[in-house]
Structure 1
Amino acid sequence: MGRAPEQRATALIHHDYQPPEDFESPAVAVHKASTVFFRDTAQMRSQRWVDKSGYTYGLHGTPTTFTLEQRIATLEGATHVLLAPSGLAAVTTVDQAFLKSGDELLLPDNVYAPSLNFARHELARWGIAHKLYDPMDPASLAQAITPATRLVWLEAPGSVTLEFPDLRALVRTVRAARATGEGAPIVALDNTWGAGLAFNAFDLGDGLAVDLTVHALTKYPSGGGDLLMGSIATRDRALHDTLAMTHSRLGLGVGANDAEAVLRSLPTLPLRYAAQDAAARRVAQWCRQRPEVARVLHPSLPDSPGHAHWAALCDAAAGLLTLELDARFAPAQVDAVVDALRLFRIGWSWGGPVSLAVPYQATAIRRLPQPYRGTLLRLSIGLESVDDLIADLEQALQRLP
């Protein structure tokens, strides 16, 4: 006779399977867990997850997520990494880890809009002030720093308009404030555009470095446009420990299958990044010849804001460009161009295989005086044929009078 149903249920749970020790393949094993078993109570009480020396609970890491964190650390040039459910979650974790009531946050005027919205709403309700500075003028940052300043965000390049700041000068400005006792701000960089490939944020030259980076792994590391994830990287153990505790208390975690997907995509990241960079440069050069386009914003172009700063630090430029359409075209006309595109899809984000197009009004995304007059059209170049993408842009632009 077979086992009773109750016995079969027990056997299905307490089976004797053990993974083979002599099996190895290119793919990292996917370890899924909420509960993690301990050999005994002594091990349960001694295990530590902050330094990744042990496993305690699925939320705090598994072999799969620890492996991804180690590889992102290698990519970014860091030593400690935490994963978050999205790039924005990584940004807000940094804010919450280092800011308290009475503190002040400084943001570049071209900051990622959701980061500014978090400061305007949640942080403001908690008694944390924020100010904007002109990222293209280090003196503007110097004037903004006060004894209350605790965190300074940098972006390179700026969101949508792609101005490339003098990162060395901005970091030097914050270091000078630390030296004079005006404040002890932490310098955080959104490094999503650079993807750990365009430049090393932890070695900017002249002994300069940021304190931590945030990376939307949603973009280039994923490469598929099909998952959300972020990372926070640093070389400073004390900063990491503070971040890890906040990360834990917020209950942040990522799914094992999403971690697996990023791990699978990472080996092709340099190839994809280079291909999309080269394609974007070709599209940018073609767009510069179009009479409908007043200016093409792309750091590799000599007339793009901050080109000299980009050239001094980088040899890559990602796959983003923004067209400043001639001011004679109304926003509705630009919308019609976007609607006419066939290969470019309309959608947020970037870094995936499909090219994307999104129109913006500069006056709606910039608060400091800015030189942009016409409607902006941001293009994310995917992995399609460049000739086909150019042909698509040509047929759509022909709709403008």
Structure 2
Amino acid sequence: MHWQTKLTQPQVLSNPGFKSLVTPTYRGSTVLFEKQSDVVDGWDQKQNGYSYGLYGTPTTIELAERIAELENAHHTFTVPGGQAAIALVYLATCQSGSHALVPYSAYGPNKEMAQGMLKNLGIEVEAYDPMLGADISHLIRENTTLIWVESPGSVTMEVQDIPAICVEAHKSDVIVALDNTYAAGVHFDAFGHNVDISIQALTKYVGGHSDLLLGTVSVNSEKLKEKVGATFKQLGLAVSPDDCSLALRGLQTLAIRLAHLEKSTLTVAHWIAENPNVEQVLHPALPSCPGHEFWKRDFTGSSSVFSFIFKDYVSALEVENFINSLALFKIGMSWGGVTSLALVYPSIERPNKDYEGRLVRLNIGLENTDDLILDLQQAMQSVTS
């Protein structure tokens, strides 16, 4: 063969039989078939065989299978991020004329999607009090197709009575979808508590190092697998095998990271609760957090993110100075990585509540706990007591 052909169609020359502890990173768009009759064009490559890289390679499907195993799910889809997971759930379960419910405390972009793209598509998304529990039945309509739960809630950390919500939803055949990112799919058993769909932003704890964007959508039945799968195929939600490889690596240390993060975060949260400038600590494992009783009943642990509220005499400027005075805590969004983060929420919207720029969210990383407390202590000097 001409050397150009040799370069374009290389033969495998390395010795076979290499074994490693690491899942190989399979990259590829085109899938080769032995003969024409073998050609398929389906998204379910586990059942029908590989068809096209868009629907996954052995690396991306290995990650999905590992997440499904952790969550005791019927099937898991990998998607490009947590927001993509939210979009996939909405578009698979709602259509023009549908009504959906989302808690006030849900992830901000979820609510932005509700008031933006979904509204333009004729889908009405109504916000509800996350502490409603069984009383959510009063909000369910004939055209309600989806109820979101997020527990603990984003920033304000409300823990919901998910079993009670599921009971009321299922009476009307309404699907319940949970953003289970806080629990990393392990501290809260979504399907054991009768949730229908569980999503995660693997960007957070599974990735664990603030260097990838991935999400998953896990379902509890073959019916939902087909329903979500059809939308998954049409949206073309391809993920990077390289990112999936990093997530597979992250899974290997997830347990030990979560254990350290829980212990360190609780130590910091208890220290903050004793500070005279602090009005309330919003950590699910502390009685001061709304829904703490549901956390005690339903969860097996807590993780690295929580919030606290300064007392009303502390000005928004002082809170900003507190954030700017931190040295070890970096100012940044997201959470679940190895680095501690801090962020003030000056205009967070919650009905009948005005935090006036006094609410701060912390993500505790893998730094020494005493060092983190010393950093918070020196930054507190910028606050008038």
TM-score normalised by L of structure 2: 0.96
Instruction: Give 1:371 deviation, angstroms.
Output: 7.7
Find the partner of 1:276 among 236, 243, 261: 261
Change (3 A) 1:39 1:171: same
Partner of 1:359: 344
Cα deviation, residue 333, structure 1: 1.2
Letter of the 2:189 partner, please give it.
Answer: N
Work out the number of aligned pairs and report it.
383
Map 1:128-207; keep pairs closer than 5 Å: 128-176=123-171, 178=172, 184-204=173-193
Identify which range, 368-377 or 54-63, moves more after superposition. Answer: 368-377
Residue 225 of structure 1 aligns to a residue whose secondary structure is coil
Match of 1:50 in 2: 44
- Give the Cα separation in 2 of the matches to 1:132 and 1:285: 32
State the 1:241 CA deviation. 1.4
Does the alignment pair 1:399 with 2:382? yes
Following the alignment from structure 1 to structure 2, what is the Cα–Cα distance between the partners of residues 364 and 11?
A: 60
What percentage of aligned pairs have identical amino acids? Answer: 39
Which residue does the alignment assign to 1:390?
Answer: 373
Which of 200, 211, 216 in structure 2 is aligned with 1:231? 216
Matching residue within 378, 383, 388 for 2:361: 378
**Alignment map for 1:247-266 (pairs within 5 Å):** 247-266=232-251
What are the ranges of 5 or more consecutive residues in structure 1 without an aligned counterpart? Answer: 179-183
Tell me the amino acid that sits aligned with residue 192 of structure 2: D
- Distance in 2 (alpha carbons) for counterparts of 1:262 and 1:171: 30
Secondary structure of 1:203's counterpart equals: helix
| Structure 2 CA distance for aligned equivalents of residues 43 and 191 of structure 1 | 39
Residue identity opposite 2:379 in structure 1: A
Letter in 1 for 2:182: W
Query: Judging changes above 3 Å, is the alpha-carbon distance between structure 1 residues 19 and 63 closer, same or farther for their aligned structure 2 residues?
Result: farther
Distance 1:319 1:20 in 2: 45
CA distance in 2, matches of 1:397, 1:365: 25
Q: CA deviation at 1:306?
A: 0.8
- Report which stretch shifted further, 370-379 or 109-118: 370-379
Indicate how the Cα distance of structure 1 residues 31 and 370 shifts in structure 2: closer, same or farther if over 3 A, else same.
Answer: same
Q: How far off is 1:199 after superposition?
A: 1.8
CA distance in 2, matches of 1:346, 1:371: 23
Distance 1:91 1:223 in 2: 20
Segments of 5+ residues of structure 2 without an aligned counterpart are none
Task: Normalising by structure 1, report the TM-score.
Answer: 0.92
CA distance in 1, matches of 2:224, 2:268: 41
1:44-101 CA-to-partner distances (Å, cap 9, x unmatched) read 14x6441513111101111111101100101112120111111000101110111111
Shift of the 74–20 alpha-carbon distance from structure 1 to 2, 3 Å rule, reads farther
In the alignment, the residues of structure 1 paired with residue 99 and residue 239 of structure 2 have an alpha-carbon distance, to the nearest angstrom, of 30
Distance 1:397 1:168, change over 3 A: same
One-letter amino acid of the structure 2 residue matched with residue 195 of structure 1: A
135-144 or 250-259: which moved more?
Answer: 135-144
> How far is the alpha carbon of 1:175 from its aligned partner?
2.0
- The answer as to whether partners of 2:284 and 2:292 remain within 8 angstroms in 1 is yes
Is the 1:327–1:374 Cα contact (8 Å) retained in structure 2?
no
Q: Does 1:322 align with 2:314?
A: no
Post-superposition shift, 1:186?
A: 0.7
Seen in structure 2, the aligned counterparts of structure 1 residues 135 and 295 have a Cα distance that, compared at 3 Å, is same
1:365 alignment partner AA = E
SS at match of 2:60: helix
Q: Secondary structure at the match of 2:348?
A: helix
SS in 2 for 1:214: strand
Q: What's the CA shift string for 1:181-208, capped at 9, x where partnerless?
A: xxx311000000011121211102xxxx
1:215 to 200, 214, 236: 200
CA distance 1:41–1:18, shift in 2 (3 Å): farther
Q: Deviations over 1:99-136 (max 9, x none)?
A: 11110110011111100000101010111111111121
The 3-state SS of whatever aligns with 1:163 is coil
Deviation of 1:13 after TM superposition, in Å, equals: 2.0
Instruction: Give the CA deviation at 1:40.
Output: 1.0
RMSD (Å) for aligned C-alpha atoms: 1.5
Query: For residue 322 of structure 1, what is the amino acid of its counterpart?
Result: S
What is the alpha-carbon distance in structure 2 between the residues aligned to residue 371 and residue 274 of structure 1? 34
Q: In the superposition, relative to structure 1, how do residues 331 and 58 fare at CA in structure 2: closer, same or farther (>3 Å)?
A: same
State the 1:21 CA deviation: 4.9
